[in-house]
Structure 1
Amino acid sequence: MGGEQLNRVKTNIDGLDDMLYGGIPEGNQIIVAGGPGTGKSLMSFEFLYRKAKEGVNSAFIALEEKPDMLIRNVKSAFDFEDLDKLIKSEKLIIGGESTATRLAAEGNSGSYSFGTVVSDMESIIKSNNAKCVVIDSLSLLKLIFEDNTEYRRSIVSLLADLRRMGVTSIVTVEMEQSDRDSLKFGTEFFVFDGIIIFYEMGEENKRMLTSEIVKMRGTDHSWALVPYEISREGFKFYTV
């Protein structure tokens, strides 16, 4: 972009940095959205795994799965042989179970609960001075609020908190449909720096996983609809 010097956080995921023209702009907070089974949580975890291997402290905030279950699911999907070592050394930490439990117990109590959740997240991030963070998923947090205006205001506050801590984050969002033709953006999409969408496309017996970058503030990016696959080695985005 006109000779602009931009610090980027490489994902080190096969093909994704090509789509991002070098990586996620440092300090951006982005949404990875998709329907069930599209792999958004797995891809987000791979991002942190590869950053931890690189020596970057990372934190996965799991709001919908217990950490041990998440690790079991990751191991069933990927051959990440050094995962346990990275977790033991706290280069990669996984937290959020207490937050999810509190949300389930308190139900809908608005901004007070949300403030507590944000405080819990901040504690997890600070526990290893994480620079790359995943929050999985925003859909659970939305259940706290009855009012969309209050929800949007609270998400803006969360993003400000993440920026203040100097992290680059991925936040997953569950979409009801995996079909591109049925795409609808929720209120949270408009306040994030970037949006990556995962789709399932094609006929029932010929489903294909595809992705596109809808938005990435501060940089240009690929506008192509890119197929991807999930193997034991991780994600691969077929950019050419």
Structure 2
Amino acid sequence: MPHLVSTGVDGLDSILGGGITERSTVLVSGNPGTGKSIFGIQYLYTGVTEHGDRGVYVSFEENEEDIREAAESVGFEDFGDLVDDGEIVILDKREMLRIEDFTETIDRLLETVAEGEFDRLVLDSLSMFQLFFEDEHEKRTSLLKFSDILKESGLTSLLINEQGAVFPDTEIGLENFLTDGNIYLIQTPTESGVNRYVWVAKMRKQDIDTDIFPLEIGTGGLTVHDQAGGFAMMERSESPF
């Protein structure tokens, strides 16, 4: 059995049979407001506080101050202290978007990883990261190279992907096939607000539950209710993966 890394999300680890496989790269997709960035923050925060795993947060969309504030907004009051102590390292958009070459971006990330023993990484977002590439062949080659580098560095990684469609199986991109696992965060509007759900569509080397489960965001971050809500968002006779 492979060694599993806890996601830090109550209920989600149960769906995954204990967590995600060590040294895997997992795509976390969803439209805006579904909780993708909070998931990434929670993954790194609980990694340090509950498992002693140091982490790296790479953001092409937010400044470090924004990430700290997002963590504090869900009750991770000491997140900033962990950053100050070097347990979590943030490479934010001011630094990463200053670099216009893919190789230089990878080199900067590798420099950070080489400076300390890290276990977890979050890339937010893959959508912005892919702007470095001019065509599908370059994108495929670079994403495979990037994934291999993360694994060789001993990192178990979440790659956050911005998605326009509400229904996941209407947007099957190249990145879905190049990662070890695919987790979708879904939200649907209601008269009183939104309902949120999580769907684990694929996880290599693992026996997973592929039902859709209710998701909440509150103090302490994301919580998954690991009893399926009897809700079918999409008709799918077979998995797209």
Give me the TM-score of the superposition, normalised by structure 1: 0.88
Task: Please name the residue that 1:58 is paired with.
Answer: 55
Distance of aligned partners of 1:91 and 1:75 in 2 relative to their CA distance in 1, 3 Å threshold: same
CA contact (8 A) 1:178 1:198 kept: no
Corresponding pairs, count: 226
**For structure 2, which runs of at least 5 residues remain unmatched after alignment?**
228-241
CA contact (8 A) 1:199 1:209 kept: yes
CA distance in 2, matches of 1:59, 1:127: 11
TM-aligned CA deviation for residue 203 of structure 1: 4.4
CA distance in 2, matches of 1:134, 1:17: 18
User: Counterparts of 1:110-129 in structure 2 under 5 Å?
Assistant: 113-129=101-117
1:228 match: secondary structure: strand
Match of 1:198 among 181, 185, 188: 185
CA distance in 2, matches of 1:28, 1:92: 19
Coordinate RMSD, CA, aligned: 1.6
**For structure 1, which runs of at least 5 residues remain unmatched after alignment?**
107-112
Match of 2:159 among 171, 188, 208: 171
CA distance in 1, matches of 2:98, 2:179: 26
Paired AA for residue 43 in structure 1? F
Task: Please name the residue that 1:109 is paired with.
Answer: none
Match of 2:70 among 73, 86, 111: 73
Match of 1:132 among 120, 134, 143: 120
Deviation digits for residues 14-64 of structure 1 (CA, Å, limit 9, x no counterpart): 111001100111111110000000011111110100001131111111111
CA distance in 2, matches of 1:179, 1:206: 18
CA contact (8 A) 1:96 1:121 kept: no
CA distance in 1, matches of 2:116, 2:72: 23
Deviation digits for residues 211-236 of structure 1 (CA, Å, limit 9, x no counterpart): 11111111111111011000012111
Among the aligned pairs, what percent are the same residue? 29
TM-aligned CA deviation for residue 100 of structure 1: 2.9
CA contact (8 A) 1:33 1:195 kept: yes
Paired AA for residue 122 in structure 2? V
User: Counterparts of 1:101-116 in structure 2 under 5 Å?
Assistant: 101-103=97-99, 106=100, 113-116=101-104
CA distance in 1, matches of 2:144, 2:213: 30
User: Counterparts of 1:1-240 in structure 2 under 5 Å?
Assistant: 5-53=1-49, 54-76=51-73, 78-103=74-99, 106=100, 113-180=101-168, 183-201=170-188, 203=190, 205=192, 207-240=194-227
CA contact (8 A) 2:71 2:79 kept: no
CA distance in 2, matches of 1:204, 1:149: 44
Give me the TM-score of the superposition, normalised by structure 2: 0.88
